[in-house]
Structure 1
Amino acid sequence: MNSSQAVLESGAVRPVRWRGRVMLRRALLTLVVIAQALVGAYYMASVLPYHGGNLLEQALIALFTVLFTWITVGFWIGLYGFWLRRLGGDPKSLLRRYPDGELANTPLSRTAVVMPIYNEPVNRTLGGLRAIYRSIERSGQLEHFDFYILSDSRDPDVWLSEQAAWQSLCDELGASGRLFYRRRTLNMNYKSGNVADFLRRWGRAYEYMIVMDADSLMGGDTLVKMVRLMQREPKVGILQSCPTIINGQSLFARVQQFANQVYGPLFSTGLAAMQLGEAAFWGHNAIIRTEPFMRHCGLPRLRGPGLFSGPISSHDFVEAAFMGRAGYEVWLEPDLGESYEESPPSLVDELTRDKRWAKGNLQHLWLMLFEPRLRMAHRMAFLNGILSYVASPLWFAFLVLTTIETTRLVLWPPNYFPEQHSPFPLWPEWHPEWAIGLASSVVFLLFFPKFLALLDVLLSGRRRSHGGFIRLLLSTLQEILVSALLAPIRMLAHTRYVLEALLNVTLRWAGQNRSDETTWTDALLNQAPGSLIAAAWSGFAWWLDPLFFFWSLPVALPLLLAAPTSVLLSKVGLGQALRRAGVLLVPEEKHGSALLEDLSGHSILPEPGTGESAVVRAVLDPVMNRVHQATARSHGGGAKHERLKQLRSRCLEQGPDSLSRAEKNLLLTDRESLAWLHAHAWRAPVDSFWGRAIDHRIRRIWPA
């Protein structure tokens, strides 16, 4: 009997009925959204000169209705989130079921904290894990947790640095036997395959698994509380926290960070209330019940055509749906504090990430339509993820059709008798005041929840955490301006990604950039096509009708300015200047955070460029050479052994740069070769590569 079953049988668990409440909430949301969408479609038809009397106008009405419905759903979820926060939270949430004192008496169970990584910045990634470790240590519950670094890194300088940092952390924290490092030699199925490999090896030793991303941070008290909630709720298979963005350095990251922390609570509270026990899993900062996850959440290979074949790229929503199908609950709990992640530092990096996500989300269409016995809520979660990217090509198509409609009306006279042999003319009607009203309603739906979020900050007494009322207002206006500039850029990029995904363009899996600024070259290469399209569109609009040109500016102007916008937003200096001015401030910057202090306290390894490479260190440093030997394997005899002998001889004579990445990976994962290189490099001539490397090492360690 596991510990959560023991809690259940002790009678401490109080079953809570939530399905009736959530069905009522969803029914009301559906009713108001459909009613509002129908009203919007009616006014859109009224605005058009022929009121949907031809195929072009019917397509415009259809596209507008879909997009209007999409923003209407977000509006009502934000509004409902504001209402619940004013009431003190959702009475049906997990946290509201148990007082803190009752949770504190709940026994813990063995839990693995796993962090899958792939060619990530080593100091930031393992520094974050160190901060999490220390936070759990401060909670007094460290004995219940083990930690696993699950590496898929392929660059030898990266994975050798990971192993060195792991050894350093074990020494610093006294974590030997509690902090483990495992690197896969075969990358199958991306992150989900990495986690699945861990579960096959060690999953049965743990009742729970907490999954972190490379940029995740979570407080020890929060992690302990999540384990205790799982102990109290044996039917919960996944408990997802709601991570907030912190540690933003560039202007782009700080804008995303501010928006997430100010607007996020409203939308996450409303979303959680509409999902309750049928929430989505976001892939990180969540706790998972390992036994049902292993039994029910294995990912199938898709068997459809093109895009819908092969491994599933985006795994998290699928795993939540499979957990729900197995009869377990999946909860999103927004009020779990100290759950953090980081934003990409620039627009280029965000769009690079979105390219992977777009393909993964579109694959969910196959599962949404054809996977049996999934809960309707999880099918709707698939649809929501799909629309988050498909909305962009729909918007783009709406702009194209609007341009065609305007061109037709300007260049060709109206056809008063579109139906042959009809004695009754069809008179075009114009209602500019309705068009203004419709546009105003769209703006209202988009921006009113943001001002509700601002009001929520004021009513909850958080304004000082954001720099006071004036700075909070300035920050909100700046965020709105940046969002307006970025929306058309994202629209065009997401349109391209959706088309590439539908054409099944192969994607390259790569680690994320988490610190570099965008160069002008990168910005121009990424944004020039969109800027050229916008320039051509604006020029045509001006030639066609100056009024249409001014109508196009809110979309065209951000695209024309996309390259300088991208460069400007990536600047760390500008972001830090605004932080010093108290603009775009978040509570962790105002009041401090033990997690951030641990993260930024000191580096685990020397920063790149300050010393020898990880490969050279692995060969020359006697301690690290033994560490790497301990994690390496013996490849035995045969052709591979002969190949290794050739590689290590070349490495000794010409240095590691004479080897390809694949050759280094093969050589440095061989125990015998590591020992041989260490012994022979230290006896190399002083004018050889290794002789100079030894001289540099001695001068660095013992400077004159």
Structure 2
Amino acid sequence: MGANKASHRWRHIAGIRRVLLIVLLAGQTLAACYYLLGVLPYHGGTWLELAILGLFALLYTWIAVGFWIAVFGFIVRLTGGDRHSLMRRHSAETIAKTSLARTAVVMPVYHEPVHWTLSGLKAVYRDLERRGQIENFDFFILSDSRNPDIWLEEQAAWQRLATELGAEGRFFYRRRSVNLNYKSGNIADFLRRWGKRYEYMVVLDADSLISGKTVTRMVQLMELEPQVGILQTNPNIINGQSLFARIQQFANRFYSPLFSTGLAAIQMGDAAFWGHNAILRVRPFMRYCGLRKLRGPGIFGGPIMSHDFVEAAYMGRAGYEVWLEPGLEESFEESPPTLTDELMRDNRWAKGNLQHFWLLITAPGIRFAHRMAFLNGIMAYVASPLWLLFLACTTIEAARMTLSPIDYFPEGHQGLFPLWPEWRPEWALALALSTAALLFLPKFLALTDALLHRLSSGFGGFLRLTLSVLLEIAVSVLLAPLRMLAHSRFVLAALLNVSLKWAGQNRTEETTWSEAFRSQMWGMLIGAGWSAFAWSLDRLFFFWSLPVAIPLILAVPTSVLLSRVSLGQWMKRRKLLLIPEEQATIEVLRDSTAFRSEINTDSALRPVERAILSPDSNRLHVFLARDHKAAVRRRTLDSSVRRCLSEGPDALSSLDLSQLMQDRRALAQLHQQAWRASPESYWGQCIKRLAHSADS
């Protein structure tokens, strides 16, 4: 009964807040469109001007949503927090006294740096152990890696780590032999095998870190709130090394308190699931959140790529609540180190988010808030081609007014009297300033929030914090046109259903000049050409084009310089772009840094070679392998064994080598015969390297 009353209460409050948001958005957009009609020469009297007006209305509403979310967050924080949030329902003492339930901590991985990834998971394990709560948690590494060198290294590293932690029977590794349906298929496979053993599941990404305190509090809140199906934390970005990563890290850490608080206040129990750093109630997730393949045309058919928003919508459809809780701190992730890597990730996300359009219009029973979350995710990428189309339309309008005589009876205009074109530059200036305010005022609201809550010391002091905000604004202005062009290309490729290769994330490499030139060349040419055309048309239009043209022309040096770790560290030494976590001691972050800095002593041989030659390693992989049918062995494996022994593993394709490394008999046979190889052979040289590393 209490849960039903609480649910009714928050839904009532959420309804009021959402109506207020819609009224503010509609009023502001209508006012802006009225000003735009006054700015356009024919006041919307031509089809081209109507197209400009329609595009402007969509885009202005889109950026206004972010503005008002930040304003909501500022007001909520100013008044002491949202008293209707999930955590405010219970006292700290009540939460702390709540017992824990059996929980699985799962980390899906796909071609990730093995030592780096498992060291982070080790830090989470140690933090839970330090709190005396480890007996309530089991850990699972869920691998989809296809490269034999990577998954063999994963298996060896897991075995060493389980032994080091004394976690046999609590720390597991499972690799799927068939990689279906991306990450959601990986999680589904885990749940089919072991889901019924657990009440909850904490999902981590390969770059996730989360403290034991936060994990236990998540479980306790789920125990206190049985109607909650998913509880999402707000992860902060950490460990930024390059200038690009440090700017992303600063922006996330400094602005997210406002945006996440505002978003949580609007969504309440209809929040989104972001796919990681969250806890899920296993039984309803298994029952209601299975993802069937889409049945639409082209991109709208096949497996769902971006699964998280869909799972949240299905959980809400089943009557369970999904909450974003910004008060759950000490939850972390990492960002791509370069612009190139961010755009590669966005290429995958664009296709996944666009798929949601099919669910938006066809999926029955989805709550309105979750449909809006679908629309928000779609607009995150569709906004870019819309901006590009808006720029194209305004360019055509400028060219038309400059090159063609004035048309007093334009198309769409009916009547006996001519339509006189008018120019109102003061209205245009007011409209431009209002748009800039929507984009940049939330950043200064965050600065005010930091002053009011005395948070500036964690960011290097008020002066350095202000300089960091101005630097972040300058870089965001430089990057916006680059992202616009890239996202437009991604949306077009997605709509044409161009296939994508799902790959692991780069976490270390800088962008070279040649790589930047290849990826940004077309943007440079478009920016220079558009600017030259604007100059030939009209000097005022030329100056209007510069905020877009200049970043495109400077795309190559921008991409290269932002990728430099040396520049990022230079900023850090001067306490610019600083975040509080770089000054405070958080044990899970300290441990992960220490564990990742440990030297790997098994580098003399590549993982495939070690799996064949090392007795301990071979024994492990033989145990984890399986027995293929005799017919399969005779047809393929026996031939692969002979080639591997005579020419080495590079003589085999990745698929043949994977099949070989998964067969018990083949692994044992390779181990026995490789040790009998002559000193001059491939395996003889490997044995020499192994012996040398053992001696040293």
Tell me if TM exceeds 0.5: yes
The 2-side partners of 1:611 and 1:102 are apart by 53
Query: Are 2:443 and 1:450 aligned?
Result: yes
The 1-side partners of 2:676 and 2:111 are apart by 33
Query: Are 2:519 and 1:526 aligned?
Result: yes
Query: Are 2:359 and 1:363 aligned?
Result: no
The 2-side partners of 1:533 and 1:619 are apart by 54
The 2-side partners of 1:391 and 1:248 are apart by 28
Q: What residue is the counterpart of 2:671 in the other structure?
A: 678
Write the letter of the residue equivalent to 2:492. Answer: L
Provide closer, same or farther for how the CA distance between residues 177 and 82 of structure 1 changes in structure 2, counting only shifts above 3 A: same
What SS does structure 1 have at the residue aligned with 2:409? coil
Query: Are 2:535 and 1:542 aligned?
Result: yes
What SS does structure 2 have at the residue aligned with 1:638? helix
Q: What residue is the counterpart of 2:691 in the other structure?
A: 698
What SS does structure 1 have at the residue aligned with 2:106? strand
Match of 1:106 among 98, 101, 117: 98
Q: What residue is the counterpart of 1:118 in the other structure?
A: 110
Query: Are 2:116 and 1:131 aligned?
Result: no
The 2-side partners of 1:365 and 1:277 are apart by 22
Q: CA deviation at 1:651?
A: 0.9
The 2-side partners of 1:13 and 1:671 are apart by 56
Matches within 5 A, 1:374-413: 374-413=366-405
Q: CA RMSD in A?
A: 1.6
Q: What residue is the counterpart of 2:140 in the other structure?
A: 148
Deviations 1:506-562 (A, max 9, x none): 111111112211112221111111111111111111111222111111001111111
Question: Is the Cα–Cα contact under 8 Å of residues 12 and 232 in structure 1 kept in the other structure?
Answer: no
The 2-side partners of 1:607 and 1:112 are apart by 28
The 2-side partners of 1:658 and 1:57 are apart by 63
Q: What residue is the counterpart of 2:582 in the other structure?
A: 589
Q: What residue is the counterpart of 2:504 in the other structure?
A: 511
Query: Are 2:67 and 1:75 aligned?
Result: yes
Matches within 5 A, 1:165-180: 165-180=157-172
Write the letter of the residue equivalent to 2:197. Answer: A
Match of 1:313 among 302, 305, 316: 305
Write the letter of the residue equivalent to 2:222. Answer: M
Q: CA deviation at 1:611?
A: 2.5
Question: Is the Cα–Cα contact under 8 Å of residues 13 and 232 in structure 1 kept in the other structure?
Answer: no
Match of 1:613 among 595, 600, 606: 606
The 2-side partners of 1:77 and 1:608 are apart by 50
Match of 1:37 among 29, 33, 41: 29
Question: Is the Cα–Cα contact under 8 Å of residues 123 and 595 in structure 2 kept in the other structure?
Answer: no
Q: CA deviation at 1:14?
A: 8.2
* TM-score (norm. length: structure 2): 0.98
Q: CA deviation at 1:447?
A: 0.5
Query: Are 2:646 and 1:650 aligned?
Result: no
Query: Are 2:285 and 1:293 aligned?
Result: yes
Question: Is the Cα–Cα contact under 8 Å of residues 41 and 423 in structure 2 kept in the other structure?
Answer: yes
Match of 1:254 among 246, 256, 259: 246
What SS does structure 1 have at the residue aligned with 2:583? helix
Q: What residue is the counterpart of 1:335 in the other structure?
A: 327
Write the letter of the residue equivalent to 1:55. Answer: W
Question: Is the Cα–Cα contact under 8 Å of residues 247 and 596 in structure 1 kept in the other structure?
Answer: no
Q: What residue is the counterpart of 2:237 in the other structure?
A: 245
Question: Is the Cα–Cα contact under 8 Å of residues 635 and 641 in structure 1 kept in the other structure?
Answer: no
Deviations 1:4-33 (A, max 9, x none): xxxx9xx89984521100000000110011
The 1-side partners of 2:545 and 2:5 are apart by 58
The 2-side partners of 1:597 and 1:32 are apart by 45
Q: What residue is the counterpart of 1:600 in the other structure?
A: 593
Write the letter of the residue equivalent to 2:527. Answer: A
Q: What residue is the counterpart of 1:638 in the other structure?
A: 631
Q: CA deviation at 1:609?
A: 10
Question: Is the Cα–Cα contact under 8 Å of residues 3 and 225 in structure 2 kept in the other structure?
Answer: no
Question: Is the Cα–Cα contact under 8 Å of residues 131 and 598 in structure 1 kept in the other structure?
Answer: yes
Q: What residue is the counterpart of 2:173 in the other structure?
A: 181
Q: What residue is the counterpart of 2:476 in the other structure?
A: 483
Question: Is the Cα–Cα contact under 8 Å of residues 388 and 485 in structure 2 kept in the other structure?
Answer: yes
Deviations 1:327-383 (A, max 9, x none): 000000011011000000000000000011111111111101111111011111101
What SS does structure 2 have at the residue aligned with 1:68? helix
What SS does structure 2 have at the residue aligned with 1:20? helix
Question: Is the Cα–Cα contact under 8 Å of residues 101 and 136 in structure 2 kept in the other structure?
Answer: yes
What SS does structure 2 have at the residue aligned with 1:176? coil
The 1-side partners of 2:283 and 2:65 are apart by 35
Deviations 1:431-463 (A, max 9, x none): 001101100000011111100101111221211
Question: Is the Cα–Cα contact under 8 Å of residues 457 and 463 in structure 1 kept in the other structure?
Answer: yes
Write the letter of the residue equivalent to 1:104. Answer: A
Match of 1:49 among 18, 38, 41: 41
Question: Is the Cα–Cα contact under 8 Å of residues 237 and 328 in structure 1 kept in the other structure?
Answer: yes
Bigger drift between 639-648 and 530-539 goes to 639-648
Match of 2:429 among 409, 432, 436: 436
Deviations 1:471-494 (A, max 9, x none): 111111110011000000001111
Write the letter of the residue equivalent to 1:181. Answer: Y
Q: What residue is the counterpart of 1:5 in the other structure?
A: none
Deviations 1:31-55 (A, max 9, x none): 0110000000000110001100000
Bigger drift between 12-21 and 591-600 goes to 12-21
* TM-score (norm. length: structure 1): 0.97
What SS does structure 2 have at the residue aligned with 1:513? coil
The 2-side partners of 1:259 and 1:353 are apart by 19
Write the letter of the residue equivalent to 2:675. Answer: W
Q: CA deviation at 1:215?
A: 0.4
Task: Give ranges in structure 2 of 5+ residues lacking alignment.
Answer: none
Write the letter of the residue equivalent to 1:61. Answer: L
Write the letter of the residue equivalent to 2:586. Answer: S
Provide closer, same or farther for how the CA distance between residues 99 and 363 of structure 1 changes in structure 2, counting only shifts above 3 A: same
Q: CA deviation at 1:415?
A: 0.9
Question: Is the Cα–Cα contact under 8 Å of residues 289 and 315 in structure 2 kept in the other structure?
Answer: yes
What SS does structure 2 have at the residue aligned with 1:336? coil
Q: CA deviation at 1:418?
A: 3.0
Q: CA deviation at 1:658?
A: 1.1
Write the letter of the residue equivalent to 1:560. Answer: I
Provide closer, same or farther for how the CA distance between residues 226 and 14 of structure 1 changes in structure 2, counting only shifts above 3 A: farther
What SS does structure 1 have at the residue aligned with 2:332? strand
The 2-side partners of 1:608 and 1:568 are apart by 34
Write the letter of the residue equivalent to 2:628. Answer: H
What SS does structure 1 have at the residue aligned with 2:605? coil
Deviations 1:278-322 (A, max 9, x none): 000000000000000000000011111111111111100000000
Bigger drift between 411-420 and 99-108 goes to 411-420
What SS does structure 1 have at the residue aligned with 2:499? coil
Q: CA deviation at 1:604?
A: 8.7
The 1-side partners of 2:613 and 2:496 are apart by 49
What SS does structure 1 have at the residue aligned with 2:43? coil
Q: What residue is the counterpart of 2:266 in the other structure?
A: 274
Q: What residue is the counterpart of 1:573 in the other structure?
A: 566
The 2-side partners of 1:448 and 1:102 are apart by 39
What SS does structure 2 have at the residue aligned with 1:601? helix
